[in-house]
Structure 1
Amino acid sequence: MKTFRLLAILSVLSITILTGCSKKSDDVNPDPATGAAGFKVKVDGKEYAPDFSYALASFPANDLYYAIYGLDSKTSDIVAIALPKTVKEGTFPINNVNFAMATFNKQDFSTINGGSGTITITKRTDTNVQGTFSFTAVDATGKLSRTLTDGSFNVNVR
């Protein structure tokens, strides 16, 4: 059941992201650590800086959540963190409730499958979300994982 739920969420999220992508000035990905808009993270020690980064006011398929994500339009790789709308500023665990997911090289990973981590929201308004994160996500088999570290984001809410 968890695998089906994860696949359904990933499918809806991917469709929403890919159909909503249009390159505008606020879609660029400068370094969020400098205060500029963007999204970046190290995946198993390698830099991942997607060319699209957003926050969705409502997570696809679940209006009780909002999502922060980065998408590489060239590879379709994605990192997404979904948090209940009640989560404002502060530090929170990433687990199977405040969950994260990633797709790299067409392989799906999620904290719903057993990973964990933390996210710190330093600023959240109706139009912007900023913070840092790190987590480990596991594939549906439980045999493969990805470690995401040094994550930061400063994204506009859509």
Structure 2
Amino acid sequence: MKAFKLLTILSVLSITILTGCSKKNDDVNPDPAAGAAGFKVKVDGKEYAPDFSYALASFPANDLYYAIYGLDSKTNDIVAIALPKTAKEGTFAINAENFAVMTFNKQDFSTINGGSGSVTITKRTDSNIQGTFSLTAVDATGTLKRTLTDGSFNVNVR
């Protein structure tokens, strides 16, 4: 059941993101830690700096959440963090409820499958979200995992 739920979420997420992609200056990914708009994180120790970064005011298929995205349009790798719309500034656990999903090297991972971590929202307005995160995401079989560290984002809300 968890695998089906995750597959459904990732499918809707991928379709929504890929059909809504248009490269604008506020989507391009400079260094968010330096105060510029962007999204970056280390995946298993290697830099992942996608060329699109943004937040959606509503997570696809679930209006009770908003989501923060980093998407590499060349590889279709994606990292998404979904938080309840009630989550403002502060530190939140990432788990099965405040969750993260990712596709990396054509493999799907999620905290819904048992991963964990935390996200700190340092600024949230109607038009911008900034913060940091780290997490571990697990595949649907529970045997493979990805560790994401030193994550930061400064994204515009759509």
TM-score, normalised by the number of residues in structure 1: 0.99
- What are the Cα deviations for residues 30-55 of structure 1, in whole angstroms up to 9, with x where unaligned? 00001100000000000000000010
What is the aligned-residue RMSD (CA, Å)? 0.4
Distance in 1 (alpha carbons) for counterparts of 2:105 and 2:34: 29
User: Which residue does the alignment assign to 1:138?
Assistant: 138
The 4+ residue runs of structure 1 with deviation greater than 6 A are none
Matched, 1:24 2:18: no
Distance in 1 (alpha carbons) for counterparts of 2:144 and 2:9: 20
Structure 1 SS opposite 2:60: coil
Distance in 2 (alpha carbons) for counterparts of 1:28 and 1:79: 15
Q: Which ranges in structure 1 are unaligned for 5 or more consecutive residues?
A: none
User: Which residue does the alignment assign to 1:11?
Assistant: 11
What is the Cα deviation at residue 3 of structure 1? 0.9
- What are the Cα deviations for residues 35-80 of structure 1, in whole angstroms up to 9, with x where unaligned? 1000000000000000000100000000000000100000000000
Distance in 2 (alpha carbons) for counterparts of 1:4 and 1:135: 22
Q: Which ranges in structure 2 are unaligned for 5 or more consecutive residues?
A: none
Structure 1 or 2: more helix by fraction: 1
Matched, 1:119 2:119: yes
User: Which residue does the alignment assign to 2:78?
Assistant: 78
Distance in 2 (alpha carbons) for counterparts of 1:136 and 1:126: 28
User: Identity of aligned pairs, percent?
Assistant: 88
TM-score, normalised by the number of residues in structure 2: 0.99
